Chains A and B, each alone.
Chain A
């Protein structure tokens, strides 16, 4: 039983470019959440997708957008990259909200903006 799969594992982009990160949830999970983790910090909630809609959003600018597909997989898009967007981006899947049973996290995508 595969867990959460994220791709790519590492990515280097230039300031101003756009990036798309991908996530396949654990089998049986229907909800995907995205988190940003800066070096030495705890993860910060970006947004959550359920039934192909954004259910809740954290304090992130509109440059951050997402999508969930009918097979529950998800994408995170970041436009007009800034140096400060360099971080580990984590995808977490769960059944419904995951708040009562915990999340399953992927290994993350390390994004470096130069």
Chain B
């Protein structure tokens, strides 16, 4: 079963605009990770935020985590055509003794030139 739910399921914006994707999860976690997937290929690890962190930055990426609401957001600033991909959040359910990631269904992001 999938713990995370991404919102929206699909997002289409113009190049240069900012893209925001949200993720909600159900159980307590150790950390939350975001991955990108291009055209059904392998996933690329973008960023990891620990449960005791509230915000993290990496280049044009900004991730927030609200453990009280069990939610996270991924912001991509100044979007580029190359950012077109599916984005997944993944959590490690703390109570299940770790060892695996539970992914959401993803947000399909399209950047229009």
Asked if B59 is at the interface of the complex by the 8 Å CB criterion, the answer is no
Q: Are the CB atoms of B97 and A44 closer together than 8 Å?
A: no
Residues of A within 8 A of B78 (CB): none
State the interface size on chain B (CB cutoff 8 A). Answer: 27
Asked if B113 is at the interface of the complex by the 8 Å CB criterion, the answer is no
Q: Are the CB atoms of A107 and B103 closer together than 8 Å?
A: no
Chain B 3-44 per-residue mask, 1 if CB under 8 angstroms from chain A, else 0: 010000000000000000000000000110101000011111
Q: In whole angstroms, what is the CA distance A21 to B97 when docked? A: 27
Residues of A within 8 A of B104 (CB): 42
Residues of B within 8 A of A35 (CB): 103
Residues of A within 8 A of B43 (CB): 43, 90, 92, 103, 105
Candidate in B4, B44, B45 with the most chain A CB atoms within 10 angstroms: B45
Asked if A74 is at the interface of the complex by the 8 Å CB criterion, the answer is no
A77 to chain B, nearest CB (A): 19
Q: In whole angstroms, what is the CA distance A35 to B90 when docked? A: 13
State the interface size on chain A (CB cutoff 8 A). Answer: 30
Q: In whole angstroms, what is the CA distance A107 to B94 when docked? A: 28
Q: Are the CB atoms of A55 and B99 closer together than 8 Å?
A: yes
Asked if A104 is at the interface of the complex by the 8 Å CB criterion, the answer is yes
Q: Are the CB atoms of B99 and A102 closer together than 8 Å?
A: no
- Within 8 Å by CB of A99, from B30, B35, B41, lies B30
Q: Are the CB atoms of A45 and B101 closer together than 8 Å?
A: yes
- A residues 92-114 touching B (CB-CB < 8 Å): 92, 97, 99-108, 110
Asked if A58 is at the interface of the complex by the 8 Å CB criterion, the answer is yes
Interface of B with A (CB < 8 Å)?
A: 1-2, 4, 30-31, 33, 35, 40-45, 48, 88, 90, 92, 97-106
Having A43-B88, A88-B40, one finds 5 other A-B pairs with CB under 8 Å, namely: A43-B43, A92-B43, A99-B99, A100-B48, A103-B101
